[in-house]
Amino acid sequence: MFDLVQLIILFPLLGFIGIGVLGKYLKSEKVIGIIGSSTVGISFIISVILFFHIISTGLAKPYIVDVFTWIATGDFSVKVSYQVDQLSILFSLIVTGVGFLIHVYSIGYMHGDRSFARFFSYLNLFIFMMLNLVLASNYLLTFLGWEGVGLASYLLIGFWYDRKFPGVRITWTGDAGNKAFIVNRIGDFGFLIAMFLIFANFGTLSYTEVQDIAYLGKSIYFDTGLITAITLLLFLGCTGKSAQLPLAVWLPDAMAGPTPVSALIHAATMVTAGIFLIARNSVLFSLAPITMEVVLIVGVITAFWAATIGITQNDIKKVLAYSTVSQLGFMFAALGAGAFVAGVFHVMTHAFFKGLLFLGAGSVIHGMHEEQNIKKMGNLAKYMPTTYKTFLLASLAIAGVPLFSGFFSKDAILWAVYNDGGFIWWLILTIAAFFTAFYMFRLVYLVFHGKERFDHHKLHPHESPKVITVPLAVLAFLSVFGGFLGIPYVFGFWFSHHPNALENFLMPIFAKSNNILGVPLEHELHAIEYLFIAIAIAVALIGIKVAINYYSDDKLLRPRRIAEKFKAAFDLSLNKYYLDEIYFYLIVDPIVNGSRSFLWKKFDVGVVDGIVNGSATVVQKISETLRRIQTGIAQNYALLMIAGIAAILAWVVSSF
């Protein structure tokens, strides 16, 4: 039964190859769209089947499906094999489920694009690689997927390669793609080194084997330099892929890609690969307290940093991009606090509401004829009622309004961070949550309410077609109700004493790390937890209220006044803390200048070229001489051959 996992991988691959090769000949957008979506849809259905099979069998140990041996040289052998367990199937559900909706949405969104087929083949490639990433049973295959999604992301960011995209030293969308790719290289480097270390010390790259060895030797490995190094390097990889500080700079520029891409890759799935990697390696991470501390701090600071930027941005997609970075910070904070389930829970709810927000933004951009500046929108609720309603629901979810999905997952994170990290980190994260509520409702009000700030004669906003609004509705449903899968114990105990559905489901995955971290099986109840929840709710509601107060006024007098009063802080936020500029000044420019003036003009031209050209000249001289042997006269050949034998004979005999 579990062998079906191969089909989950296979279908998107077939879609990628099929559409990639035959796309030119398939003239109909409908055919391409249906093929592209159905491959992912089939994978989703198989994932659902496997999901229920796991529940019914209560799979205690991961089920490994070997497909074939990829590399076998000496002691080193890597199999292409997939691992079916609770974590991989959960991610597979998110990737294929949300992925399917976004594929369907893209049929409408990309309608009329001249590279329609190319778009769908890339999307299928992405799904294929992402599934390899999450279903792999060893590090190398995950790394293949890791690089593969990076490639797909690169291809899709620069999808409209002939369009301009403004940014710090960025002019074309292709530049943004390069930036994403290059910044990710730094993280990948960490992943690679971690992989080398793992192979050198554990002698295997299989997840189950590494975790078993580490768990059995937990008293030896606990808090050693080796485990700390491995986990820190893995985390470096995560900061790249999941856009955390210090490598967060690429994600906002990745918005150069078409909006479905932003929704799928740069919000719902790929950027959560870092969370996946840490969850997959929960045993290693729980053996490294220092790394856990680092993960927590990086997560909290990123969450705060990005949230403060989100409040001043004027591009609808940029706001959502910084929001994504911020929410990913929340997830890392949860992981760092040892609350793996809470982190994964937030991945899931975030996939729903952030996917929805991006798709809603896409619908707005579509209806507004490619306008992305929220200062030039307003009162769109009147023109796009479905988009408005779903967008509003998602905003309520991300802001953390009670009973919406984001409320539960965010609450679980905040409580875990307080419990493990202490009051300060909790406080920073809570402030970030306040900003989240604020910037979301600033967005809602500027886009959908107030006065129309666009030229009514030129622009006729319109609601999007069904193929776009239906996925919105489905995601809206999930954004509202998805949270009930993981009701925190503090509420859940009213219904039963068991852990919530998600925690129960993921129990086998995190049993070992929970054991190491000393997490009790049964939750204790703290009265203070209710207080914290009350604060969280209050913060969310105040954030919303402030935003409404500020931005329901058409002249935006109050926001302007505040911006002028705190001009330095405002500029800092508007310019993203000048992080891009700092990187260019401190790192990129010195390297480029050094390479140009010394490495290229002196070392390369002088030393390297000198050696190369010199040896080339020698080789040429020799070969010209050798060439003369081939005279073309048969007698000479015979003579030379006999001479050759004689020479060898003489040589052999003389060596007796």
Partner 1 sequence: MDSLLSLFIGQYVADLKRSLALFAPELVLATAFVLLVIVDLIFQKSKYITGVVALLGFAVATIFMIVSPANTSFGFWQMYVFDPFSNFFKYIFLISGFAVVLISFFSNELNKSDRTMGEYYTLILGMTLGMFVISSAGNLILIYLALETMSLSSYVLAGYTKEIKRASEASLKYVIYGALASGLMIYGISILYGLTGTLSLFQINAFLTQYQGPVFPLVVASLLVLVGFGYKISAVPFHFWTPDVYEGAPVAITAYLSVASKAAGFAVFMRFLKAGFIDPTNASEQVWTMVSSIDWKFIVAVLSVLSMTIGNFVALWQTNVKRMLAYSSIAHAGYMLMGVTVMTEGGYIAVMIYFFTYLLMNFGAFYVVQLIANEIGSEELEDYNGLGYRSPLLGTAMAIFLVSLTGLPPTAGFVGKLYIFQAVINSNMIWLAVVGVLNSVVSLAYYAKVFRNMWLRGVDSNSAPLKYSIYAQLLVYAFVIPTLYYGIFWTPLVFWAKSSVMMFIGK
User: Pattern 606-635, binding to partner 1, x per CB under 8 A?
Assistant: ----------x--xx-xxx-xx--x-x-x-
Which residue from 1, 21, 72, 538 is in contact with partner 1, where contact means CB under 8 A?
Answer: 72
Stretches 12-20, 324-332, 432-440, 644-652: which one binds partner 1 (CB under 8 A)? 644-652
CB of 647 to partner 1, least distance (A): 8
Specify the residue, 605 or 616, whose C-beta has the smaller distance to partner 1: 616
Which residue from 25, 68, 423, 495 is in contact with partner 1, where contact means CB under 8 A?
Answer: 68
CB of 172 to partner 1, least distance (A): 24
Specify the residue, 521 or 629, whose C-beta has the smaller distance to partner 1: 629
CB of 652 to partner 1, least distance (A): 6
Going by C-beta distance under 8 Å and a sequence separation of 6 or more, which residues neighbour residue 118?
Answer: 20, 23, 159
Specify the residue, 105 or 143, whose C-beta has the smaller distance to partner 1: 143
CB of 241 to partner 1, least distance (A): 24
Lookup result for tokens 């030129």: 458
Specify the residue, 68 or 495, whose C-beta has the smaller distance to partner 1: 68
Stretches 70-78, 119-127, 284-292, 395-403: which one binds partner 1 (CB under 8 A)? 70-78
Q: Which two tokens stand for residue 406?
A: 């984001």
CB of 426 to partner 1, least distance (A): 49
Q: Which of residues 525-554 bind partner 1 (CB under 8 A)?
A: none
Q: Which two tokens stand for residue 610?
A: 């000198």
For residue 280, the one-letter residue type is R
Secondary structure class of 301 (helix, strand, coil)? helix
CB of 69 to partner 1, least distance (A): 5
Contact 177, 223 (CB under 8 A): no
Q: Which of residues 111-150 bind partner 1 (CB under 8 A)?
A: none
Specify the residue, 219 or 655, whose C-beta has the smaller distance to partner 1: 655
CB of 456 to partner 1, least distance (A): 50
User: Pattern 566-605, binding to partner 1, x per CB under 8 A?
Assistant: ----------------------------------------
Specify the residue, 521 or 634, whose C-beta has the smaller distance to partner 1: 634
Specify the residue, 423 or 656, whose C-beta has the smaller distance to partner 1: 656
Query: How would you classify the pairing of strands 76-84 and 164-167?
Result: unpaired
For residue 635, the one-letter residue type is Q
Between CA 332 and CA 565 the distance in angstroms is 34
Contact 326, 436 (CB under 8 A): yes
Q: Is the peptide bond before 508 cis (omega within 30 degrees of 0)?
A: no
Specify the residue, 582 or 648, whose C-beta has the smaller distance to partner 1: 648
User: Pattern 18-57, binding to partner 1, x per CB under 8 A?
Assistant: ----------------------------------------
Nearest to 380 by CA among 308, 447, 433, 442: 447
For residue 134, the one-letter residue type is V
Stretches 54-62, 69-77, 473-481, 596-604: which one binds partner 1 (CB under 8 A)? 69-77
Specify the residue, 531 or 646, whose C-beta has the smaller distance to partner 1: 646
Specify the residue, 451 or 627, whose C-beta has the smaller distance to partner 1: 627
For residue 146, the one-letter residue type is W
Q: Which two tokens stand for residue 107?
A: 């049929």
8-state DSSP, 465: P
Lookup result for tokens 């992925």: 99
Nearest to 307 by CA among 294, 295, 293, 320: 320
CB of 648 to partner 1, least distance (A): 6
CB of 617 to partner 1, least distance (A): 12
- The answer to whether the Cα torsion of 516, 502, 89, 100 is positive or negative is negative
CB of 623 to partner 1, least distance (A): 4
Q: Which residues pair with 181 in a beta bridge?
A: none
Between CA 168 and CA 297 the distance in angstroms is 27
Characterise 79 by phi-psi region: left (phi > 0), alpha (psi -120 to 50), beta (else). Answer: beta
Between CA 545 and CA 438 the distance in angstroms is 8
Q: What is the rounded end-to-end Cα distance, in angstroms, of the chain?
A: 68
Which residue from 590, 594, 610, 644 is in contact with partner 1, where contact means CB under 8 A?
Answer: 644
Specify the residue, 555 or 627, whose C-beta has the smaller distance to partner 1: 627
Which residue from 28, 56, 73, 496 is in contact with partner 1, where contact means CB under 8 A?
Answer: 73
Specify the residue, 588 or 650, whose C-beta has the smaller distance to partner 1: 650
Specify the residue, 28 or 654, whose C-beta has the smaller distance to partner 1: 654
Nearest to 190 by CA among 119, 240, 145: 240
CB of 13 to partner 1, least distance (A): 14
Total residues interacting with partner 1, rule: CB under 8 A: 33
Contact 360, 390 (CB under 8 A): yes
CB of 480 to partner 1, least distance (A): 46
Nearest to 242 by CA among 167, 306, 309: 306
Between CA 368 and CA 365 the distance in angstroms is 5
Contact 536, 430 (CB under 8 A): yes
Specify the residue, 595 or 636, whose C-beta has the smaller distance to partner 1: 636
DSSP 567-608: HHHHHHHHTGGGHHHHHIIIIIHHHHHHIIIIIIIIIIIIII
Using CB under 8 A as the binding rule, whether residue 641 contacts partner 1 is answered as: yes
Which residue from 1, 21, 71, 538 is in contact with partner 1, where contact means CB under 8 A?
Answer: 71
User: Each residue of 67-82: b (16+ CB within 10 Å) or e?
Assistant: beeeeeeeeeebbbbb
CB of 80 to partner 1, least distance (A): 9
Lookup result for tokens 């590399």: 71
Between CA 484 and CA 351 the distance in angstroms is 15
Question: CA-CA distances (angstroms) from residue 545 to 71, 95, 185, 436, 549?
Answer: 59, 34, 42, 12, 6
On the CB side of 396, CA atoms within 13 Å amount to 17
CB of 206 to partner 1, least distance (A): 17
Specify the residue, 25 or 656, whose C-beta has the smaller distance to partner 1: 656
Using CB under 8 A as the binding rule, whether residue 69 contacts partner 1 is answered as: yes
Specify the residue, 30 or 621, whose C-beta has the smaller distance to partner 1: 621
Q: Please report, as ranges, the residues that interact with partner 1 according to CB under 8 A.
A: 68-73, 616, 619-620, 622-624, 626-627, 630, 632, 634, 636-638, 640-641, 643-645, 647-649, 651-653, 655-656
